[in-house]
Structure 1
Amino acid sequence: DTEFEITSDQLAENKHIQIVLANVALGTPPRKTWYVFCDHVEIEGSEPDNAPKDEQQSDLIKINPDKTGPIQLPGYDKTFYLSEPIIAGGHFSWAEATKNGTRIPTDKSIVEGILKIAEVMEEVREYFGNRPILVHSWYRDPVTNRKVGGATRSRHLSGDAVDFVVEGISPMSVNKRLDSWWGSRGGLASATCFTHIDARGHRARWSYGF
């Protein structure tokens, strides 16, 4: 139950998080870099410059029977289509995850991250009574992430983060209702125009301040 200010955090092996302490060094000899078990940590706050402005596109291709926009994804031999659901029978298209195919993952692990958070988004949709969900931002390549003002280690780079709006419910209300439900499974952040959720595997909470 001790609070420490940290300068960075990142997922490490065996369900641990590597953290770097800001103003204190612990142990003998004193050191600032430590590893904490995921279930024993709650991270609040984010990088000072984490202010993404990745606008939602009104023309994102939705799920439809027409095979629109064939794409290839790393680690898979099959052809995917932008108009296909990410999860069989699901409500989110590959176009929504890749901005109409303009942000194609370059590594299989990113595709796996997209699949992982797509399952979560189906849960979120059901949790809110199957209301339609508008995707603002899903996967971001490094160049796009810098351009829109995302955090340097944004989970959007890994594919397992989504900024979204639930139709008819304010983002602040969505964030509040998801807080205990999402628990320590990952990050949750609030803004006036969207809610952020990610599947980093430990509890993290912050506000974008806009």
Structure 2
Amino acid sequence: MLGKTEAWHILDAAPGARLIAGIVPGTPAEDLRRDILAGQVINRAVYREVSAGDSLMIPAGTVHALGPGILLYEVQQSSGLTYRIYDWDRPASAGRALHPSQSAEVSRPVTAEPQPLSPAPGVQELLRCAYFVLERLASDHTPLERDTAAQSFHALTVIRGKATLHVHGASWTLKPYESVLLPAGLGCYTLNGDFEALSSRLP
């Protein structure tokens, strides 16, 4: 399927920070299309207040945008496709072109709901779709045993503390916002330490 489905995990958010995650429920598709072409889609946007630890699935075709004061981790379907539907009334430029006709064709009147985090240790699946799985890994020095099982890469990013990665007798320490890409053929590996990390892989 063409498009760009995304997952957002909020790493940090200022008090009252908001993002746009969809269109007012009940909006007819033809009304959404008309407002996009008229440059008035912002009047139908749904704003969501978010906190650190929230996760959102943003299916392809969902109108979405970040507000100020938000730091997030994003996983997306393998696609470089982006249609800019509105640019906050800034003057148009070649570097920030708008795509009203394309946006009107693909945008859907749907919303995305933030999913709060359950802060338990271990492995927690945050979001899943046909294109990727996003998981939270957390430990208080209890080793986490993982396995690529020759099925998918594992992309790991530490977001709190330090994690020591043990692979076939070798080890590396990952600090906050350091990442590592483990190939599907790697097999078993272990993570140890007092840490929180995000892992993305194929479903």
Question: Into which bin does the TM-score normalised by the smaller protein fall?
Answer: under 0.3
Taking structure 1 as the reference length, what is the TM-score of the superposition?
0.22
TM-score normalised to structure 2 length:
0.23
Greater radius of gyration (CA): 2
Q: Which has the higher contact order (CA 8 A, sep 6+)?
A: 2
Q: Which has the higher helix share?
A: 1
More strand by share: 2
